[in-house]
Amino acid sequence: MSKYLSITLIILAFYSRAGAQGCVAIRTVGGLNTMQHAGMMHDGMMHEGTTEVKDTSKWDLNVSGRYFKSYKHFSGTTENTQRVIEGTEVRNFSRTLDISLVRKINKQWSIGMDLPWVYNERSSLYEHISNVKGSPRFSTFSQGIGDVRITAYKWILAPQEGSKGNLLGGIGVKLPTGNYNATDQFHYSTTATREGPVDQSIQPGDGGWGLTMELNGFRAINATWSLYGNAYYLINPMGNNGVSTSRGAVNATPPTAAQALAIKYTSNVMSVPDQYLLRAGTNWTKEAITISLGARYECIPASDLVGDNTGFRRPGSVLAIEPGANYSYKKFNFYLYTPVALRNERPQSYPDVLKTNDTNTFTRGDAAFADYSVSIGVGYKF
């Protein structure tokens, strides 16, 4: 049973790398949430060719790549299909290299660090000359280190030889290491540009310190089938980071009517939102191969647990089906996961609510979502 338990727990470490989908700016939560793997098990086993050997590894290194393209616009749960038909949709291309390193301290405790490197592209009409059908399309870019996360893990129910289940808890800190004021050129004519902060959805960081909490559980059914469950929450106490959402537009003195409304409803600056992730599913294991299928729900809520909700954000959620495969060979693990969206929702944001209450007219913005994302990577134990 330890062999199957070890392989299955390795799988759970990698689901979080599929990241979030769409214009909804859910940052990567990295490989450390769901950090249940053989290297943290004091009775853990690993494969040496086709032979089981005791796992005495102290370190676990994981490197993964993630990609998605978001382009389908939703308001609430309704897709605005006309945007794609007219060619006025926003297209986000997200590429993330995620590096995580975990050190086993003793039988109960481990500590890990996750470092994301991002390269993002955002193609649109409305951020430049005009959102009118047929207007020229331009792109903005951002790249660099994202927000680093450091997490301490403790076994609440430790895995033991012959046991069928375990529970791992984690608490950590998210550091504001990513650039939250990345800039690029915005076109106000076909030949002239102004520099300004890129959209919130492609900023490498959010500018705030955060607190992370997570639970990761596993339950074996038999030698072939098992269940998993994971919960992760990022608390971002900062309300907004003060970065302008004007995309290079000149701030008039006094403000224009549109600028005054943005200030009134706090959408003139970027928020620093919470985010959370829930996962549950089943694994089928045969020798060194595990096939997994589960549900994944990730969300940027409209309201934070701590702090105010001021600033511009695109609250949203994605419910996805999450198939995956993992192959374990000696000290290596190779994996591929492709979450496929089943339901996207963009609810009212805090500025939307303020405007609705002020005008007595329901207001809700939209956000672009991806159909799926792809995550591929490798882990190495030493």
Please give the pLDDT value at position 6: 42
d(CA 149, CA 115): 7
Using alpha carbons, select from 48, 43, 25, 130 the residue that is nearest to residue 328: 48
d(CA 114, CA 27): 12
- State pLDDT tens for residues 179-191: 999 999 999 999 9
Residue 250 pLDDT level (bands cut at 50, 70, 90): confident
State the fold for domain 2-381. Answer: Lipocalin (2.40.128)
Residues 49 and 330 sit within 8 Å (Cβ to Cβ):
yes
The HSE-up count of residue 47 (CA atoms within 13 Å, CB side) is 20
Point out which residues pair with 69 in neighbouring strands: 93
Average pLDDT, the chain: 87
Using alpha carbons, select from 162, 151, 200, 193 the residue that is nearest to residue 29: 151
Residue with tokens 């409305």: 126
d(CA 329, CA 138): 45
Using alpha carbons, select from 173, 179, 122, 113 the residue that is nearest to residue 146: 179
- State pLDDT tens for residues 292-309: 999 999 999 999 999 999
Res 85 pLDDT > 90: yes
* Concatenated DSSP letters of 103-129: EE-SSSEEEEEEEEEEEEEEEESTTTT
Number of H helices, E strands in the chain: 4, 21
Res 49 pLDDT > 50: no
Q: Taking the model in full, what pTM does it have?
A: 0.88
- State pLDDT tens for residues 120-169: 999 999 999 999 999 999 999 999 999 999 999 999 998 877 788 899 99
Higher-pLDDT residue of 31, 76: 76
The set of residues, in sequence order, having a beta carbon less than 8 Å from that of 258 and lying 6+ positions away, is none
Q: What is the DSSP letter of 27?
A: P
